[in-house]
């Protein structure tokens, strides 16, 4: 009688298993793996860009007004709704969102899958209302609380107490009429170039650009 492969079969009995013996032997994620999100609230400026680009609506922001006039801003990342596409981390200019190699995201409650972080935003410096282009202000008062009034000629005006200088308005302006300097904290409008299209007000994540 002939037994084909009998030598092979017996040697396989004593050879090492080719399985990944996972729970006994811990395994690391590959480099560049996008796992659990780590949020660094101390770097965040709450521009809201991550919220806008998130395809799974996994990021939410809540603002709590403290007694001393400052705001406590909390960002919540719901890993149960996340696609782990890392678009939020790519768009974050401050690198406050980080994707780690931690893939152990197993929970019995929804609460366990939330990544939270909060920071206290310093109170905006009070400026004299005269600084906000008083010569062009109309009598119509829409945003009295911020002290910025819409202009009569239909061109945009920026409420600089709320502006985070994310430069998105300048990037999106079709007429290239806006210049934003992040370090000097200036927002300047070239009135000759501006076509009053309202794109800047539409894209502003802080809604601080007001059209006339």
Partner 1 sequence: MFKKLIEESTGRSPWLFHINAGSCNGCDIELVSVLTPRYDAERLGFKLAGSPRHADIVVVTGPVTKQSLPRVLRTISQVPEPRCIVTMGSCPQSGNVFRGSYSVAGPLSKYVPVDVDVAGCAPKPEAVIDGLALAAKILKEKRGRMK
**Interface residues with partner 1 (CB under 8 A)?**
18-20, 22-23, 27, 29, 33, 35, 55-58, 78-84, 103-108, 110, 113
Q: Which residue, 82 or 189, has its beta carbon nearer to partner 1?
A: 82
- Provide the CB-side half-sphere exposure for 37 (13 A, CA): 30
Q: Which residue, 112 or 191, has its beta carbon nearer to partner 1?
A: 112
Number of residues assigned to the chain: 212
Query: Which CA distances in Å does 79 have to 33, 129, 140?
Result: 15, 43, 45
Nearest approach, Cβ of 109 to partner 1 (angstroms)?
8
Nearest approach, Cβ of 102 to partner 1 (angstroms)?
10
Q: Which residue, 56 or 129, has its beta carbon nearer to partner 1?
A: 56
Q: What is the b/e burial string over 46-62, where b = at least 16 CB atoms within 10 angstroms of the residue's CB? A: bbbbbbeebeeebbeee
Integer Cα distance of 175 and 193 in angstroms: 6
Nearest approach, Cβ of 75 to partner 1 (angstroms)?
17
Contact 85, 35 (CB under 8 A): no
Nearest approach, Cβ of 172 to partner 1 (angstroms)?
25
Q: Which residue, 99 or 165, has its beta carbon nearer to partner 1?
A: 99
């Amino acid at each position: 009688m002939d037994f084909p492969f009998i030598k092979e079969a017996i040697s396989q009995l004593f050879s090492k298993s080719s399985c990944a013996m996972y729970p006994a032997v811990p395994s690391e994620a590959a480099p560049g793996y996008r796992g659990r999100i780590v949020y660094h609230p101390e770097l965040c400026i709450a521009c809201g860009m991550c919220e806008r680009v998130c395809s799974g609506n996994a990021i939410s922001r809540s603002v709590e007004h403290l007694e001393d006039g400052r705001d406590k801003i909390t960002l919540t990342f719901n890993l149960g709704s996340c696609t782990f596409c890392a678009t939020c981390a790519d768009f974050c200019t401050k690198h406050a969102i980080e994707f780690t190699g931690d893939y152990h995201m197993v929970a019995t409650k929804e609460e366990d899958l939330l990544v939270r972080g909060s920071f206290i935003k310093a109170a905006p410096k009070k400026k004299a209302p005269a600084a906000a282009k008083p010569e062009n202000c109309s009598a119509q008062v829409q945003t009295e609380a911020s002290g910025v009034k819409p202009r009569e000629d239909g061109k945009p005006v920026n409420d600089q107490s709320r502006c985070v200088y994310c430069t998105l308005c300048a990037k999106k302006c079709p007429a290239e009429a806006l210049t934003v300097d992040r370090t000097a904290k200036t927002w300047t409008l070239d009135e000759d170039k501006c076509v009053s299209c309202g794109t800047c007000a539409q894209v502003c994540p802080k809604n601080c650009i007001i059209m006339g």
